[in-house]
Amino acid sequence: MNRRDYLKVSIGLLLLAATLSFALYSTNAQTTSAATPIYGYKVVRTYPHDPTAFTEGLFYLDGALYESTGLNNRSSIRKVNLESGKVIQQKAVSSEYFGEGIVNWGPDLLQLTWKSQIGFVYDRATFSVKRRFSYTGEGWALTKDSARIIMSDGTATLRFLDPQTQKQTGKLNVTDRGRPVTNLNELEYINGEIWANIWQTDRIARISPFNGNVAAWIDMKGLLTATEKASADVLNGIAYDPATNRIFVTGKFWPKLFEIKLVAPK
């Protein structure tokens, strides 16, 4: 073999090795990306839900649901009977505001608004406004752990707020295998994880509050019938009863609220 032929063979082998390495890398990347487990669900029980409620925030406390509804001129905060779906207590939000997520902290109830950069602190017993607070950007949803309020703003970043001052104290970038997860919407803190509806999808992300990684997905497709879906909007609303480990989900303009249990991936 002369020198020219030797160089051709060497270059060919190097190109083949590079091609094989790239293919292996691509395969591994796809495998890693697909590795996040996807849970299913089964419906334990179905409850009535106000089909005129554009649900933005939801949580369960002391036997009742607390719900925030959106849309200008139609926003409200509500206390709702779980069994009947009837509104026990309600306060309309001023027509200039588009109501968003809510959470309780002690005797207070905190609510965001969408684009006004204004939040409200209510007395949870009377629903009277105690004060306002401000934030930058949009307000989408709220939940809490034992020490912090957790806020979503529609991006891939969650914010941590001081419960007393509502000032931002930190943030958490949410990723699935290194890729940002945007449109984080209604939130609930469940067994050490932050659960988030992903806006305009039927999926819920289960997020680590420590590193922001999505530990698992929940595929919620199929909750509504085709007829029910025709007059409903997106899945949005997660509530948790820690005393009985019950999980509830609903959506905007949904006629039903569902108690679910997770089904592990096969």
Over range 104-116, report the average pLDDT.
Answer: 98
pLDDT on residue 22: 38
The pLDDT of residue 266: 81
Q: Is the pLDDT of residue 233 over 70?
A: yes
Report the C-alpha gap between 147 and 139 in whole angstroms: 20
Spatial contact of 168 and 153, defined as CB atoms under 8 Å apart: no
pLDDT of residue 261: 98
Q: What is the pLDDT of residue 75?
A: 98
pLDDT bucket at 34, cuts 50 / 70 / 90: low
What mean pLDDT value characterizes the chain? Answer: 90
What pLDDT shows up at residue 24? 36
Q: What are phi and psi of 95, to 5 degrees?
A: -60, -20
